[in-house]
Structure 1
Amino acid sequence: MVLEQYTYVFVIGTFFAMLDAYNNGANDVANAWATSVSSRSITYRQAMVLGTVFEMVGAIAVGARTAETIKNGIIPSAAFKGDAGVQMLAFTCALAAASSWVMWCTKHSAHVSSTYSLISAVAGVGVATVGASKVQWGWNNGKGLGAIFAGLGMAPAISAGFGATIFMLIKVVVHMRKNPVPWAIYTAPMWFLIAGTVCTLSIVYKGSPKLGLNKKPPGWIAGVTVGTGSALALLAAFFFVPFLYARIINRDHTVKWWMVIQGPLLFRRAPPAHADRINVPNYAVVQHDEEEEQVSTRSPESLDEIDVIKSNGSQPTTAQGNVNEKSLAQVDAPGHESHEEKEYATLMAEGQEKFHARLRKKSGLLGWAMRTLHANPIGPGEIYELKNIKILFFKRVPAMIVVGALYGVNYDIHAAQSGIHGTPEGKRMQGVYDAAAKYPNEVEHTYSFVQVLTACTASFAHGANDIGNSVGPWAVIYGAWSTGSAAASKAPVPLWQIAVLSLTISLGLITYGYNIMKVMGNKITYHSPSRGCSMEMGAAITVLVFSQFSLPVSTSMCITGATVGVGLCNGTLKAVNWQRVGLLVISWIMTIPVAGTIAGVLMGILLNTPHFTA
């Protein structure tokens, strides 16, 4: 029996469920991909495509279990005493409070946990609806608030441990070698083995109940996961190692990415006559207008490593010199106003206007929209003047829609991540970067491919874990509305709901993820592909472990913990921006009372609103 009188509640609840999923993508998923984009292992647009694919796969294959915890683990369905209308209103208020809070924080580039926002909101409406005694404050077989909030302290610490362990393994095996380049190339299959095994394990080990993989014997699970990882490692050894050998050791800058299919034939490929440079990107982040050249940026000491391998005595040339560390700003030219003499807000405004000027020169839809907004400001007088109404609805509104859809994909993430010379932030980040060891670009290049795989794993883990944030309450609302029974919340989550919200998460990543990504990349510690894949793998393992026990855990907290753990592997506390870490921790803690209070007050007002009957 459909509760037609509560259709408006269902519609409002659906809107806020989708808004919560959108915020989830713009906040947590953007954070998961920020490491790869910051390390220049992948472009923002490539991250959007891969993020969409793996978010959906993780959500559909594994996501149903965490949704069950959100649905029934905090407020037992029996507490509503069969009143489906009150149950619908409760979860609608929870979604409204959580999504509004996260949206406000994302707007101001404050990175908060959408997981804990929703959990706190559900607890708040629980207190307002059925009283504090009915809320599952304890462990509740791993599904109560006690178990969930235990992850607030455990998840970042565990993730930091995993991330640091993986990076220290890379550091000992490769970075600390006298000649790290060949070690990086020939050990690459090992990292593919680890990444492939973890990714497969996340699907197979206690996998989707609908696939029945959790009923397989342990030997079968171990065989499939290790077998898949081993197969990936063999493919890497057969195709990837020869590709790296030709590109780096042979200095063949004519080798293209698609030539990887040639496999061992690349060992016999003759390099060009003037093989004097290596075709690897510059993984440092610098602030200048010119396009960075794809050249070697290794230190003079490391240049001799490949010379020993080739025994030909030649040295690669570089167009930029030794710039293999992140540069915060260029030295002010004589006669120009120093950055120290400018206000920070002025510098930021100038940088944004410079970026917008570049966008206005584009030939596509975004260029048209930016030019339209720039050439058609609201005129003098009130906005309801006829002239201004025409400008608004016929020119600005269509252009604003286009900008909203395409602005994020074209955002200059790298320029927004570094500090600005002369400001407190710039000086602080300069100290953080100086405290981190810089490794040759040729070595880092080998891990950029592994990092793409680990980023996909992290995205899969996020889809498996965080889809429950939005789909759990939405499934309760839909079940109560469509059946008229509060007990319907115990029913399995429909697959179509998971698919719809996973697409909405991807939309948030694509259109608004830049707002979080620009502050979460290089603002905590120095990033590079070898560090980035360690961070992502550590976070992915942690999220998947919690997900297997049906415990929603913040992906944001996990990747932040892994980032700090890897940063500390530099051997000094100065390699971590503790101010940024402190602000993140404060925002995480504040989320609990703020989201819970907003949801509880909203529910209390709506539940006790006077109404009249005939």
Structure 2
Amino acid sequence: MIISLLLLLSLPASMPGTLVSFSSILLKNADIVGANDVANSFGTSVSSRSLTMKQAMLVAAVCEFSGSVSVGSRVADTIRTKIVDPHHYDSSPGVLLLVMMCTIMSSSLFLTFATRHGLPVSTTHSLIGGLVGAATASIGITKINWGWHGVSQIFAAWIIAPLIAGCMGFVLFMFTKNFILTKPTAVRRAFYSIPFYTYLTVGALTMLLVWKGIHTINLSTRDIVISVFATATGMTLLQIFFLLPFLWTRIMHEDWTLKWYHVFQGPLLLWRSPPPPTPAGFTKPRIRDYYQGHLTREELNHLRTSETLLQSIQTPDGQLPDLDRDDEWILPPPAQTPPKTPPGRFEPRASSEFIPPRPDGSWNSPKVMAWKVNRVLLRGLEKDVVAMQKRNNILNWDLEDMHARSAHYDNRAEYMYSALQILTAATASFVHGANDVSNAVAPFTTAYQVWSSGEIPQFVAIPIWILVVGGACIVSWFLYGACECNHGAYGDEAVFTRIYYAVHYGSYGGRRAGKWGLEMY
């Protein structure tokens, strides 16, 4: 709010090329919204290793864009007209254009700073504050709609929405924990509970689409209810028909020959022949170990006792050993210093450990050029975020102790929920696209209307091309995770680090439950 107020006061009364400048700011604001918020949806899927970061980004790109284009206009209208009445600027439409530009500019500046330093801020809070500040500087604080249908409703939603989502998430997880995960038959119970959770998730998403996404057809309450229940029932039946036989064969029958495309065989998998013995020297594929690398309480106590003894040992230079480095231990000095990186070659760093090394050849060879493109544009997609979190001493607190205190459940039961977790994450991503695209396109829509007509119209529907541009910019967030994650704080990596704790312990999820509350472990 302060940033937007200062920006508006510092701008001249007339600015040439305002819409052109505004368009570039729109692009910046939309993709910084994606860089800050998109990981909220898929952080649990990545931190629990249900998806790799690359897979999560690709799925999120589709869901974010679909949500912004299909449902974004309804949400955008709230910010565009209900915080400040545009008709306060009827006598000077150009000032309204500048107000909207300062709103997005201030939001972009603050979000860039917050995302760069891994601060858990809200893009909606930033935009509302920017709009209130710019409106205060232009028409005065008394002209802002502070009533229930304006700012007060948004303020209340910041408290009510996390509480509701947090309570729902608490109830769902406690039910799953006490009636499924802690039971001796946890695997079978998890298997039979999947359709129930799928029905809830698909029903919620369908309700959003039918209730808020359809603009050209006026549906009655009866039509909406029928659409929601019919779609949820149909999708659940498809899952029972195809996915559940696949999971049963893979987990209960331990069929190591099963491939992902066998899911389309559906019930025929139940009559599949038993798998043959594994050949000599062949490593049998196993269910992913979700607790790999995490110590129990006894193991952690033993390790820290050993570390305490090691800390009493002085290194040759008289300094205490740096035990926070997980890849360095107290060893005798090497016989010789390793050679430095040859000139012109890329020196590996912590942020580039998961990028393939530079291939041999001249700088303009196809292999080297392809490697450079991958390094610049797709850098964030190649990161093992879960492993890198252990190297981030600023954000990880006492991560080992948290894992040691957490309960361990049957690994096969947790695997049953992998597909469901991806579905819930995709749903949350879709809702995020529908909600947060308004942060970018709502002020721009108002400015575009003023620029194109020279006046403030009574009501104009948000053009579909603006939603498309906003959605496309939001899904370009992965470039930030790719190019600016060197310090483990920019873009998705910082948010993934925060969500990593929530998925295991729920302590952080309480504060951000509005976006994570419905995520299953």
State if a TM-score over 0.5 links the two structures: yes
Query: Does 1:231 pair with 2:237?
Result: no
Query: Does 1:128 pair with 2:98?
Result: no
Residue matched to 2:6: none
Query: Does 1:158 pair with 2:164?
Result: yes
Pick the aligned partner of 1:558 from 505, 514, 519: 514
State whether residues 286 and 329 of structure 1, in contact with CA within 8 Å, keep that contact through their aligned partners in structure 2.
no
Change (3 A) 1:91 1:557: farther
Q: Percent same amino acid among aligned pairs?
A: 29
Change (3 A) 1:426 1:458: closer
The Cα shift of 1:405 comes to 1.6
Change (3 A) 1:493 1:340: farther
Query: Does 1:91 pair with 2:97?
Result: no
Tell me the alpha carbon deviations over residues 221-245 of structure 1, each in whole angstroms, 9 at most, x when there is no partner: 1111111111111112111121111
Pick the aligned partner of 1:499 from 447, 468, 482: 468
Report the residue type matching 2:467 in the other structure: I
Residue matched to 2:117: 108
Residue matched to 1:57: 66
In the TM superposition, 1:473-552 aligns within 5 A as 473-485=443-455, 487-488=456-457, 490-512=459-481, 515-521=490-496, 523=498, 526=501
Q: Distance in 1 between matches of 2:442 and 2:476?
A: 19
Q: Distance in 2 between matches of 1:258 and 1:172?
A: 34
Q: Distance in 2 between matches of 1:20 and 1:348?
A: 38
The Cα shift of 1:459 comes to 0.9
In the TM superposition, 1:344-493 aligns within 5 A as 353-359=349-355, 361=357, 363=359, 403-418=375-390, 428-485=398-455, 487-488=456-457, 490-493=459-462
Residue matched to 2:4: none
Tell me the alpha carbon deviations over residues 355-408 of structure 1, each in whole angstroms, 9 at most, x when there is no partner: 52552515599x999x99xxxxxxxxxxxxxxxxxxxxxx9xx99876442211
Residue matched to 1:380: none
The Cα shift of 1:522 comes to 5.4
Query: Does 1:257 pair with 2:260?
Result: yes
Q: Distance in 1 between matches of 2:476 and 2:300?
A: 33
**Structure 1: where are the runs of 5+ without partners?**
288-321, 373-394, 540-553, 568-614
State whether residues 170 and 517 of structure 2, in contact with CA within 8 Å, keep that contact through their aligned partners in structure 1.
no
Change (3 A) 1:112 1:348: farther
Report the residue type matching 2:321 in the other structure: E
The Cα shift of 1:187 comes to 2.5
Residue matched to 2:221: 218
State whether residues 355 and 375 of structure 2, in contact with CA within 8 Å, keep that contact through their aligned partners in structure 1.
no
Query: Does 1:26 pair with 2:35?
Result: yes
The Cα shift of 1:270 comes to 2.4
The Cα shift of 1:282 comes to 2.0
Pick the aligned partner of 1:119 from 128, 143, 149: 128
Report the residue type matching 1:83 in the other structure: S
Report the residue type matching 1:68 in the other structure: D
The Cα shift of 1:488 comes to 3.2
The Cα shift of 1:113 comes to 0.8
Report the residue type matching 1:518 in the other structure: E
Report the residue type matching 1:342 in the other structure: D
SS at match of 1:469: helix
Q: Distance in 1 between matches of 2:174 and 2:360?
A: 46
Q: Distance in 2 between matches of 1:368 and 1:250?
A: 52
Query: Does 1:341 pair with 2:341?
Result: no
SS at match of 2:267: helix
Q: Which has the higher helix share?
A: 1
SS at match of 1:205: helix
Query: Does 1:185 pair with 2:154?
Result: no
The Cα shift of 1:271 comes to 2.6
Q: Distance in 1 between matches of 2:132 and 2:168?
A: 31
Q: Distance in 1 between matches of 2:131 and 2:260?
A: 49
Deviates more, 1:87-96 or 1:34-43: 34-43
State whether residues 166 and 517 of structure 2, in contact with CA within 8 Å, keep that contact through their aligned partners in structure 1.
yes
Q: Distance in 2 between matches of 1:269 and 1:325?
A: 43
SS at match of 1:63: helix
The Cα shift of 1:7 comes to 5.3
In the TM superposition, 1:3-42 aligns within 5 A as 8-42=17-51
Aligned Cα root-mean-square deviation (Å):
4.0
State whether residues 52 and 506 of structure 1, in contact with CA within 8 Å, keep that contact through their aligned partners in structure 2.
yes
State whether residues 99 and 138 of structure 2, in contact with CA within 8 Å, keep that contact through their aligned partners in structure 1.
yes
Report the residue type matching 1:236 in the other structure: Q
Q: Distance in 2 between matches of 1:323 and 1:146?
A: 47
Pick the aligned partner of 1:169 from 166, 169, 175: 175
Q: Distance in 2 between matches of 1:180 and 1:156?
A: 30
State whether residues 328 and 426 of structure 1, in contact with CA within 8 Å, keep that contact through their aligned partners in structure 2.
no
Residue matched to 1:270: 273
Report the residue type matching 1:469 in the other structure: N
TM-score for the superposition, normalised by structure 2: 0.79
Report the residue type matching 2:24 in the other structure: F
Q: Distance in 1 between matches of 2:29 and 2:374?
A: 22
Q: Distance in 1 between matches of 2:100 and 2:187?
A: 55
